[in-house]
Structure 1
Amino acid sequence: MRNKFNRFQLKTFSVIAASLLLAQSAWALDPFTLRDIRVEGLQRVEPGTIFASLPFRIGDAYSDDKASTAIRSLFSLGLFKDVRLEVKGDVLVVIVEERPTVADVEFVGTKEFDKDVLKKALREIGLTDGQPFDKSLADKAEQELKRQYINRSMYGAVIVITVTPIERNRVNLTFSVTEGDVAKIKEIRVVGNKVFTQSTLRNLFDLDTAGWMTWYTKSDRYSRAKLNADIESMRSYYLSRGYLEFKVDSTQVAISPDKQDVTITLNITEGERFTVSGIKLNGNYLNREDEFKSLVTIKPGEGYNADTVAETIKAFTEYYGTFGFAFARVDATPEIDRANNLVSFTLQGDPSRRAYVRRINLSGNNRTRDEVVRREFRQFESSWYDGDKIRLSRDRLDRLGFFTEVGIETSEVTGTPDQVDLNVNLAEKPTGNLQLGAGFSTADSVSLTFGIRQENVFGTGNYLGIEVNTSRANRQLVISTIDPYFTADGISRAIDVYQRTNRPLDGQGGDYGLRTTGASIRFGVPFTETDTVYFGSGFEQLTIQPGSNPLPVTYADYARQFGFTSTSIPLTVGWTRDNRDSALVPTRGRYQRVYGDWGIAGDARFLRASYQIQQYIPLNKQYTVALNGELGWGKGLNGRPFPVFKNSYSGGLGSVRGFQQGSLGPRDSSDLAVGGPKKITLNAELIAPFPGTGNDRTLRIFTFVDAGNVFAESSPYRFNDLRASFGVGLSWISPIGPLRLAIANPIRKKVGDRTERLQFQIGTSF
């Protein structure tokens, strides 16, 4: 029975095999010469696209192999759902079914993201208006949108895609989003710590549990990238305090079933604390061992500090870079004595090969023109790589104030071992600045000023400022423009045109006015990378406008001696040195300025000078001490007194907070504050993050102590006459410019001083 069954199977297999062979011979085509090629089923795709993808032409031989190649080629275009080839005699008919095209993409229910941001994310994966559509692309788009929401800690977001066919084989896509609530960090735990407390380690993190300011900082939203950064901060904290073998054993992130709470657990091993026993150099140090040794910050006998090791390696690498060795490698190899908790280091230096910069690539300067960025570079293309010049270029870009982030990365050129490219990554900030100033006092209620400036007009790097004040007491129109590269060598040109009319407040002498009309031009010549000398000239005309009441004594005396209209033609000269780490939020460095004014012609003859210095001292990552000092002096020439309309003023924001703006100093018999040619201003601030914002630098608080005053020409500087105040303030890098608000309490004042507790201003520093 079994043998009969086997014989039956054999016969059956033989019949099937024979059938397949007959079918194959029936389907196979003998090669023939194409007389014509026709295409059917096209709606929007051009016929030329089809013909360009076919591996044959009319008159060529056609075979099954070429047919298979043609079908694969047409499908690879991504334009068709189906492709068929039919042979009618010696004519080939290509029948295609096009994929629908995306007509429009719409979002419903999106509140967390701007729709343009989501459209850009989908555009990057190939889903946008006018592109072919298929189901796999829709699935990919859904995953991309979910990824965007996960990055914002919105794990419960639900996305439903609706595909609506419309005429001409097109579809509208609607992404209906139910965002849900943001998942908040409920708990952060560090397990295994013995030396440092939980609170100490938690203060190192940017991530945090929910607090009263997390609505602003969003630090309670989980982010893998932020968690990795926090882990590195903790690792650096331990390594900089001697714990050489510190490690993070595991990281656990748990999300609650309702996707609303996130719990983070970090398991660590602290290890023992090590002391440095010695350092030695090994390798090729370009016969400059003594110079390299002077760069070593690792000190034997002190606790191991990863920061000093990193600083030494960085200093060595940068010093190699000054000689063109872009690929220099420095390794700090530790030799650990665990029995005595000692570690010694061997610094192995390898300069590798010299390199020069092939190309400087810019990205992120969507508004600022390339030439504005490139003219700040001191490292040039097709020249030897110089680490000092690259760092200087980065600092110069940062000091422009146009960018919130400036990063320069070096990448090797494939196939060319002695060349590198510099990739400059920029993040622009709004350079338009709306300036508002306000103060409040019981005597004068609220006072306001207004101004608009643009530091990067049309991306050219030029400055344009317009200041308008329409108040009754001070009417002014000031137009200023600065071209920082008036010449190719970096000489700047500044032009100011202004008209100001000042009238007294009620009870200060009547309704007289002082109208000043003028224009000036000045040039800035850079002598070093941080030093610039300025010089220029101008013309100014002052008119004293009497009112219905008698003029104040000061102005009446001046008009009686020199007339109601005075002109002056001053020459100006100045010098600045700026090596701060940032123009927007400085934390270290110094700024100095010297300015001189000499009235050489006209009715007003005078000499005026001032000196200002600012110093920023970082105490740690969060706290900064800021100091400011300013000294002014003036004297009348040719037997004339110093012009009253050139006086300096003190009081208020920018000088001594807690006193009314410009109210300090000498007063005439009509109780009008007339200022003076001599001025002293001293400020000190301790700047810290706003409570609850962690390490955020855009919102900070500060405490301050101010002192200062102005003095008449005939009076000496008297420190006993200085007014002083202290208080607290808020600093915020707002979308319309830096805002500073101060609540001040005068601690040194005299009878008659006009105080002002609350003051704020947008667009000012001290």
Structure 2
Amino acid sequence: MRPCVLRRRPDGLRLQLTRCVSVLALAAALATAPVRAEALDLFGWLPFGSKSSDDEQGQPAVVDPLPYTASLRVSGGPPELETALTGSSELLSQGDRLPSGEAGLIARAVSDFERLVGRLYVEGYYAGTVNIRVAGLDLQQALAAPSLPGPRPVPVTISVDPGPLFTFGTIAITPADDAAQGAGTVFDGASYGLVRGETANSEKILRAERAIVADLKAAGYPFARISRREIVADHDTNRLDVRLSVAAGRAARFGEVSVSGAEATDPDFIVTQAMLPVGGAYSPAEIDRATERLNELGIFSSVRIVPADSITPDGLLPVTIEVSERKRNVIGVGANWSSSEGFGVESYWRRRNLFGRGELLSLEGSVGRIGDNSLSDLEYSARIAFEKPGAFGPQTRFTTSLGARQEVPDAYRSRSITADAFYERDVTDELSVKFGGEVQFADERDVFGNETYLLTGVIGQVTYDTRDDPLNPTKGINALLFAEPAYDIQGANAMLFTRGQISAYRALDDAARFVLAGRLGAGSIIAPSVRSIPAARRFFSGGGGSIRGYAYRNVGPRRNGEVTGGRSFVEASGEIRMKATETIGLVGFVDAGNSFDAMYPDFSQGLKVGVGAGLRYFTPVGPLRFDIAVPLDPEKDDPDFAIYVGLSQAF
């Protein structure tokens, strides 16, 4: 590549561009780089960083701090340009962090010069003048002076004349080798955002280069590059001519896959789970998918797939999977609270990578409805679970568990023991299926009296998930279909459990600060009667995750004033989510639904509706949620309002 030719003029470090290679990247990087980074401060608690004790702001103590005042004057250009320049200036944005002595102030001014020139390029101004004066001296004089004259704080003035706005002139993107010529990619500038007559932002050129190289790599050329870049600013016509030469290099196929960094994990297991198509055409998308598959195992803190530096004579490109393993033993605790359901705690112990092939052993326990209840009225559960990924080949899992629990909502008391086993398969990145069976013994007391059940069932489940973030989605859908034919050996009754749910999300603006979220769910149990179904398996509505505002599992058909649970249900929720700041969000919502005695929803019985609003505090591990909801048609045991606190969005 040809180097940049920059001409410096004596009238205050004026910078003009004639031919440039790396200055565009440097300019964009300096102009857009964050000026300051902080650790997450969660109400004084720093879970992902710590403040230094050097000063109250957590910044390192400055030796010989030098106070100064800074001002910016922009001659011409739109108001948005001055805002952009102000945001790029360290002298202005970091005025509360004093530099170390005169040398520190001058260094900050020199850095600002580069940043401001870079911002001008980003905005499309290539003939601008940036003049920074420190204590009345221009930068060249300040650099040569033994000390800065004048008063303290030191006055610093920044003068910017952006000059004319440049537009694109000639755009030429040509292949530099036979491979690029025959790669099948059409190097049309307009298709890469370089359009004659449009504003000549430097970022557009960089984006175009990245897109061209990405297209060639996607076509199987791992070492594609921009071999020559020629940028010419014509100051007579205020046009920027762009000429790029593209070298594709050799096409490659995936070669031998090796592993580094594995200690407890079997390297062959890693290679198998990555599913890189050895012998197939090189593809960055395949590398991304393989990386995601390995990360989803949950046993690595980092995964990198690194291609070799060269292609073998037979066209193969070896790759190395570099992994760093996570700690194998994990202990976790959690808590939740709502005004209608009380306080709950849970904990777990997990052993990752049990036998070196991604296995997971979990011991889990929880206690719920803690409050005024006696010990016998608490809800609790205990469970041991085992998961083996890749049990039947890549993208499959085998899971099994044994658990016991007690549930004590207002409508019933249930004690149960459940054993299950499942085969799971990821059909695509979005679609997964699950098949298996379970055996459950339940001892229950409800409005019908005491009953025992011994259920055996065969379970099938299909999940489709395109959400961009499971904890805080802004687009996509999440759908689930579940079916279980079961037989109660105690009561000699056959039954079929079915349910489905779909949630959808849509951002109303490009920044996803306003998001509409909706959820619809329904279910049916084909059984002789409500009484023949275990109470814990009937459909109840109300409470968090259902119809907020109503008491937990307190919505549905009643007998002698007590909720019995139903053989069908339907529920719907709608939310408008607004991100007020980077850390604070507001939510308004409405929930509606009901459970019915009939095997299919009977809308003649009407729907219960709850409305409310919520607050979100966004953290790196998901939004902290605080909701308050009011039931519009409360019945016995329903509160006047209910409060819910948890982690992640409601759905």
* TM-score range normalised by the length of the shorter chain: 0.5 to 0.7
**Counterpart for residue 469 of structure 1:** 367
CA distance in 2, matches of 1:740, 1:586: 10
1:647 aligns with one of 528, 535, 538: 538
Which of residues 541, 547, 557 in structure 1 aligns to 2:441? Answer: 541
Q: How does 1:244-255 map to 2 (within 5 A)?
A: none
- 1:590-644 per-residue CA deviation (whole Å, 9 max, x = no partner) reads 3533222222433350231213335464955684737352422213146778834
Q: Equivalent residue for 1:627?
A: 517
Change in Cα spacing, 1:757 to 1:503, as seen in structure 2 (3 Å) is closer
The 3-state SS of whatever aligns with 2:479 is: strand
The verdict on how the C-alpha distance between 1:461 and 1:352 changes in structure 2, with shifts beyond 3 A counting, is same
Instruction: Tell me the SS of whatever aligns to 1:412.
Output: coil
Aligned 8 A contact 2:548 2:610 in 1: no
Note if contact 2:335-2:343 (Cα within 8 Å) is conserved in structure 1: no
Mapped pair 1:684 → 2:575: yes
For residues 210-249 of structure 1, what are the structure 2 equivalents within 5 Å? Answer: 242-243=124-125
Given the alignment, which residue of 151, 154, 163 partners 2:60? Answer: 154
Instruction: Describe the SS at the equivalent of 1:392.
Output: helix
* Uncovered stretches (5+) of structure 2, i.e. residues with no partner: 1-48, 98-103, 143-152, 371-376
Task: Between 755-764 and 494-503, report the one with greater CA deviation.
Answer: 755-764
Give 1:16-35 correspondences, 5 Å limit: none
* Offset, 1:389: 0.8
Provide the secondary structure at the position in 1 that maps to 2:211.
helix
The equivalent of 1:610 in structure 2 is 500
Q: How does 1:124-139 map to 2 (within 5 A)?
A: none
Q: 2-side partners of 1:717 and 1:228: how far apart?
A: 72
Question: Structure 1's 636 and 521: CA in aligned 2 closer, same or farther, altered over 3 A?
Answer: same
Distance 1:262 1:414 in 2: 58
Alignment: residue pair count: 547
- SS of 2:625's equivalent? strand
Out of 245, 250, 256, the residue aligned to residue 348 of structure 1 is 245
Q: What does 1:186-335 align with in structure 2 at a 5 Å threshold?
A: 192=74, 195-196=79-80, 242-243=124-125, 270=162, 272-276=164-168, 279=171, 281-283=173-175, 284-286=180-182, 288-289=184-185, 296-298=192-194, 302-304=198-200, 309-330=205-226, 334=231
- 2:405 is equivalent to residue 500 of structure 1: yes
RCO higher in structure (CA 8 A, sep ≥6) = 2
Counterpart residue number, 1:25: none
1:743–1:314: structure 2 CA closer, same or farther, 3 Å change rule?
same
State the shift of 1:733 in Å.
4.0
In structure 2, C-alpha distance between the alignment counterparts of 1:748 and 1:205, rounded to whole Å: 54
- After superposition, residues 414-563 of structure 1 pair within 5 angstroms as 419=317, 424=322, 433-440=332-339, 446-452=342-348, 454=350, 456=352, 461-463=358-360, 464=362, 466-469=364-367, 472-505=377-410, 513-545=413-445, 551-552=446-447, 555-556=448-449
Q: Give, in whole Å, the separation in 1 of the partners of 2:111 and 2:294.
A: 25
| Shift, 1:492, TM fit | 0.7
- In structure 2, relative to structure 1, the CA distance for the partners of 1:205 and 1:687 (3 Å cut) is farther
Alignment of 1:601 with 2:487, yes or no, is yes
Identify the residue that residue 274 of structure 2 maps to in structure 1.
377
What secondary structure does 2:565 align onto? coil
| Letter of the 1:325 counterpart | Y
Match of 1:744 in 2: 628
**Cα separation, 2, equivalents of 1:651 and 1:327:** 58
How far, CA to CA, are the matches of 1:522 and 1:683 in structure 2? 33
| Corresponding letter in the other structure for 1:534 | K
Q: Counterpart in 1 of 2:643?
A: 758
Instruction: Give, as a single letter, the amino acid of the residue that structure 2 aligns with 1:351.
Output: A
Q: Deviations over 1:457-489 (max 9, x none)?
A: 568644435132265242322333332322333
Instruction: Measure the CA separation in 2 of the matches of 1:264 and 1:457.
Output: 59
Instruction: Kindly provide the CA deviation profile for residues 635-674 of structure 1, in whole angstroms up to 9, marking residues without a partner as x.
Output: 3146778834323444444445555444445554334473
Report SS of the residue matched to 1:523: strand
- 1:513 to 1:418, Cα distance in 2 relative to 1, 3 A: closer
**Structure 1 counterpart SS, 2:644:** strand
Question: How far is 1:386 from its partner?
Answer: 1.7
The CA distance in 2 between the partners of 1:377 and 1:262, in whole Å, is: 59
The normalised TM-score by structure 1 is 0.57
Q: Which amino acid aligns with 2:587?
A: T
1:318 and 1:414, CA in 2 relative to 1: closer, same or farther beyond 3 A? closer
* Structure 1 contact 399–581 (Cα < 8 Å) conserved: no
Q: CA offset at residue 352 of structure 1?
A: 1.5
C-alpha distance in structure 2 between counterparts of 1:230 and 1:610, whole Å = 58
Q: 1:541 to 1:289 in 2, by over 3 A?
A: same
C-alpha distance in structure 2 between counterparts of 1:587 and 1:229, whole Å = 39
Q: 1 CA distance for matches of 2:88 and 2:190?
A: 32
**SS of the residue 1:352 aligns to:** coil
Residues 394/251 of structure 1: CA separation in 2 closer, same or farther (3 Å cut): farther
Q: 1:637 to 1:268 in 2, by over 3 A?
A: farther
CA, structure 1 residues 385+720, in 2 after alignment: closer, same or farther (shift >3 Å)? same
Q: Residue deviations 1:315-355, cap 9 Å, x none?
A: 33223223321111246755655555444655533211234
Q: Which has the larger radius of gyration?
A: 1
User: Of residues 384, 391, 407 in structure 1, which corresponds to 2:288?
Assistant: 391
Counterpart-to-counterpart distance in 2, 1:619 and 1:672: 43
Code of the aligned partner of 2:645: F
CA distance change for structure 1 residues 281 and 196 in 2, over 3 Å: closer, same or farther? same
* Residue 574 (str. 1) matches residue 458 (str. 2): no
On the 8 A contact 2:549/2:631 being kept in 1, the answer is: no
| 1:4-53, Cα deviation, whole Å (9 max, x unpaired) | xxxxxxxxxxxxxxxxxxxxxxxxxxxxxxxxxxxxxxxxxxxxxxxxxx
Equivalent position SS for 2:192: coil
Query: Quick check: 2:254–2:282 contact (8 Å CA) kept in 1?
Result: yes
Q: Report what 1:94 is aligned to.
A: none
Deviations, residues 201-238 of structure 1 (Å, cap 9, x unaligned) = 67789997699xx9xxxxxxx9xxx9999999999987
1:705 pairs with 2:610: no
Partner Cα distance (2:67, 2:576) in 1:
34
Instruction: Tell me by how many angstroms 1:565 deviates.
Output: 1.9
Unmatched 5+ residue regions in structure 1? 1-116, 118-145, 158-180, 215-221, 255-260, 546-550, 692-698
Shift of 1:314: 3.1
Deviation at 1:755, TM superposition (A): 5.2
Distance 1:662 1:490, change over 3 A: same
Amino acid paired to 2:461: G
Provide the identity percentage: 14
Secondary structure (helix, strand or coil) at the match of 1:196 reads helix
Q: CA deviation at 1:191?
A: 6.5
Aligned-CA RMSD value? 5.5
